[in-house]
A and B are shown apart, each in its own frame.
Chain A
């Protein structure tokens, strides 16, 4: 009994520590195109910046100003190719570490994906086969990356329209095993969970139940939708509004976490007027049960 109690306390403390990396609340992905809008937000809980667009010696003025206001900024890598069969490139890892140092970031994040093979670039995050071989490759590249980092690494499972034919694991099992082997945290993209579940004909909430959400460091939310060329397929585009169904999945996630996790909006193009972006943040805040940036009252 006592042992179980201690184990439980340790687990709760570990969860609290993970959440403490970033303040609970609503943040946003900083992009040059919306820098002015982000700068005008009274108080995003945190921001994220694409690591490959950042020069650690000279971060963009908008990012520097966020740091001066005490707002954490997380470098988010998109080109490391941790799932690539070739060893992760040292220069890319060092760049990510330098970004973390320059921003005094509490953590960094990357993807469970590969982006290039045999010197050829896909220009996008691609899924790895969920096999033991791919687990070994990922774990090796992740450990190599962690060795260069002074801060924790959170891994984001991607949205993909297809699976490899030789998968040996379900996505939740694959991820659980990967996080256990590497000690990495989880950057849970709720829109990716929604997209993959819908496109595989699964219930998103049932998938959520099987994911290692006790390891969540923070959460992504993004928009998407169907395209006229591909009826029946949900595309995680980051250039469309966040669908109601994704916000509802955020609500289901929060029901399953110890406290409201840090959550942020990712928008990568076709930027709407400021009021619409603001409304998206408020909708996310309501789903999490937290105040929107700058609000004093708890929304939702």
Chain B
């Protein structure tokens, strides 16, 4: 699963890549590391990402309430960090596909789908300047 990250067995660069893979991409625990502490780190990173995504997707996070960190972890574990905007976007789309997206969260998703073109693989691109301005105004609460 971690193929593509790391791959080498010697040298600091390869060892750092293997560690990153273990923490964010379901890679194996590199030799000599404490598996329980790496796992605690992996879960702490997911909680931190969930908190960051909640700032960008407040209605999505609110729709899941106290379950948000767990729901986030369940869907994003093994996916390397791609930024709070994409993390939340992928979750919102997945929930929508299963018909589990709440009304407010659906409106939040629709707003972003209108403002950005997101292919699910690379950073969302603005569809037009005026829409981006509206988007920024909405996110910052400033006209």
Given contacts A227-B47, A239-B51, contact A118 B33 (CB under 8 A): no
Which residues of chain B in 52-70 are interfacial with respect to chain A, using CB atoms and an 8 Å cutoff?
52, 55
Decide if A4 is an interface residue (CB 8 Å cutoff).
no
Given contacts A85-B12, A114-B16, A162-B34, 6 further A-B contacts (CB under 8 A): A118-B17, A122-B24, A124-B23, A124-B45, A230-B44, A233-B40
9 chain-A/chain-B pairs, Cβ below 8 angstroms = A84-B16, A85-B13, A118-B13, A120-B20, A124-B45, A126-B19, A161-B44, A162-B34, A269-B51
Residue contact B32 to A129, C-beta cutoff 8 Å: no
CB distance from B91 to the nearest CB of A (A): 16
Residue contact B45 to A120, C-beta cutoff 8 Å: no
CB distance from A278 to the nearest CB of B (A): 22
Decide if B25 is an interface residue (CB 8 Å cutoff).
yes
Contact with B along A130-166 (1 / 0, CB 8 A): 0001100100000000000000000000001110111
What residues of chain B have their CB less than 8 Å away from a CB belonging to chain A?
Answer: 5-6, 11-17, 19-21, 23-25, 31-34, 37-38, 40-41, 43-45, 47-49, 51-52, 55, 80-81, 140
CB distance from B7 to the nearest CB of A (A): 8
Residue contact A117 to B40, C-beta cutoff 8 Å: no
Residue contact B49 to A120, C-beta cutoff 8 Å: no
Q: For B32, what are the chain A residues with a Cβ–Cβ distance below 8 Å? A: 164-166
Q: Which of B24, B37, B38 contacts A120 (CB 8 A)?
A: B24
Q: For A230, what are the chain B residues with a Cβ–Cβ distance below 8 Å? A: 40, 43-44
Residue contact B12 to A134, C-beta cutoff 8 Å: yes
Q: Is the interface of B mostly helix, strand, loop or mixed?
A: helix
Given contacts A118-B5, A124-B48, contact A161 B41 (CB under 8 A): yes
Residue contact A137 to B19, C-beta cutoff 8 Å: no
Residue contact A165 to B40, C-beta cutoff 8 Å: no
**Listed residue (A122, A164, A237) with the most chain B CB atoms within 10 angstroms of its CB:** A122
Q: Considering the chains assembled together, what is the distance between the CA atoms of A128 and B15 in angstroms? A: 10
Q: Considering the chains assembled together, what is the distance between the CA atoms of A269 and B55 in angstroms? A: 9
Q: For A168, what are the chain B residues with a Cβ–Cβ distance below 8 Å? A: none
Q: Considering the chains assembled together, what is the distance between the CA atoms of A161 and B45 in angstroms? A: 11
Contact with B along A219-252 (1 / 0, CB 8 A): 0000000010110010101010000000000000
Decide if A267 is an interface residue (CB 8 Å cutoff).
no
Q: For A85, what are the chain B residues with a Cβ–Cβ distance below 8 Å? A: 11-13, 16
Q: Considering the chains assembled together, what is the distance between the CA atoms of A227 and B69 in angstroms? A: 12
Residue contact A129 to B12, C-beta cutoff 8 Å: yes
Q: Considering the chains assembled together, what is the distance between the CA atoms of A162 and B38 in angstroms? A: 7
Decide if A290 is an interface residue (CB 8 Å cutoff).
no
CB distance from B59 to the nearest CB of A (A): 17
Q: Considering the chains assembled together, what is the distance between the CA atoms of A257 and B89 in angstroms? A: 48
Q: Which residue of B lies closest to A131 (CB)?
A: B12
Which 7 residue pairs across A and B have the least CB separation, nearest first? A165-B32, A123-B81, A85-B13, A117-B16, A118-B17, A162-B37, A117-B17
Residue contact B81 to A121, C-beta cutoff 8 Å: yes
Q: Which residue of B lies closest to A61 (CB)?
A: B142
Residue contact B24 to A123, C-beta cutoff 8 Å: yes
